[in-house]
Amino acid sequence: MAMYKRFRVYEKSDPPSPHSVLLERKGEENTLLFESQAVAVLSVQETEAVKKQYTKIIDAYGCLGVLQLNASDNTTLYLVMIVGCFSVGKMGDSEIFRITQTQFVPLHYSQNEDRVAEVRKLLNSGTFYFSHPCAPGGSPLDLTLCAQRRSKTSTTDHRFFWNRMLHVHLVRFGVDCNSWLVKAMCGSVEMRTVYVGTKIALAAIISRLSCERAGTRFNVRGTNDEGHVANFVETEQVIFLDNEISSYIQTRGSVPLFWEQPGVQVGSHKVRISRGYETSKAAFNRHMTTIKARYGKQIIVNLLGTSLIGSKEGEANLSQEFQKHHKESIHSDVPHIVFDYHQECRGGNQANLQKLKSKLEQQLNEFGFYHANRGTVH
């Protein structure tokens, strides 16, 4: 399905009158007026009365919300619009799009593009996705929810709702965000058509990166006091066939202890345990308790290096601390499999992954997956 630019942004810049921005969406009678850090919903009549004073500045595919930047006593607001995207495929009754370009419309006179350059670079990185219903008036697929959760609730999972804080400004003024804003997920969505005899199935892998402890590699590691770990990813393997859907979930994340990897250049990042055993113990237990509650039965697969000699010494020490915390915790019932991935698969020797499979086979056979036919869960 071709995506067209449904949004249009107008601007009125006439000092000393307040700077004003008007947002309209095709198919929506009302418009949004942004002025003096407030938002108002204008009727058709109100819009027609003022629209001639405004100049069109951009057309856009969607709106992510309002970004608020605070510096000293100065608060600046930007309307964040999606001006570049492409479809990665259709899932259910929605089309999934990858964001490729955004534009920040200042809701004030003075423009300081340097303040939003890094945020814009992140949003334009090709790792953000949103959905759009195929049928007019339909509801978009909530990408923050896996198939099983979607069958139980319509409440968005805030862990994977990356632009949630950009919705706050509109919520504050009573605007229905579902009519104006999209929900963006960070991660990856890959879809392929699979032919099974005379039938056609859709296979997809969706990786959702949590925003609870986000950060770049090396700069953010381990856990925080709440038990949220860096780079936590929920990966869903989902298959659609006729009216049936099956889904299987795996999760990964940083080792749930307090540790860091300081350094400037790659190769100089040495692992360092940053807090003592008792402090890490509490965070480790919180992490495991949360994971069990959300996902059920678990296996820990520890892929850290085990050699205490050379550059992997810090990694091996971290692995030992991880195993110690697990063994002495209230979650020692969870199997903990150690597999030195870099040593075992050195030189691209993927055949050795069979060793890992053998270690996991018994536990994997005890796991289940989600399966539903016409909405009935089996």
Nearest to 19 by CA among 110, 94, 83, 86: 110
Rounded CA separation 172/168 (Å): 6
Please enumerate in sequence order all residues whose Cβ is within 8 A of that of 366, keeping only pairs 6 or more positions apart, or say none: 297
Distances (CA, A) of 117 to 111, 112, 121, 128, 182: 12, 9, 6, 17, 21
Q: What is the pLDDT of residue 238?
A: 97
Rounded CA separation 370/374 (Å): 13
Please enumerate in sequence order all residues whose Cβ is within 8 A of that of 165, keeping only pairs 6 or more positions apart, or say none: 65
> Apex CA 243: angle with CA 238 and CA 244, to 5°?
40
Predicted TM-score (pTM) of this structure: 0.93
Rounded CA separation 198/195 (Å): 7
Q: What is the pLDDT of residue 182?
A: 98
Q: What is the pLDDT of residue 265?
A: 55
Rounded CA separation 254/252 (Å): 7
CA 78 to chain CA centroid, Å, is 21
Rounded CA separation 177/168 (Å): 9
Q: What is the pLDDT of residue 30?
A: 97
Domain limits, the chain: 1-191
Nearest to 165 by CA among 108, 105, 80: 80
Rounded CA separation 270/256 (Å): 17
CA-derived radius of gyration, the chain: 24
The stretches of the chain forming alpha helices (DSSP H) are 44-50, 117-123, 147-152, 164-172, 177-180, 277-295, 313-327, 341-344, 353-366
Taking only the tens of pLDDT, the chain with its 378 residues reads 568 899 999 999 888 889 999 999 998 999 999 999 999 999 999 999 999 999 999 999 999 999 998 877 778 899 999 999 999 999 989 999 999 999 999 998 766 667 789 999 999 999 999 999 998 888 999 999 999 999 999 999 999 999 999 999 999 999 999 999 999 999 999 999 999 889 999 999 999 999 999 876 657 899 999 999 999 999 999 999 999 999 999 999 999 999 988 764 555 568 888 898 999 999 999 999 999 999 999 999 999 988 876 667 888 999 999 999 999 999 999 999 999 998 899 888 889 899 999 999 998 899 999 999 987 887
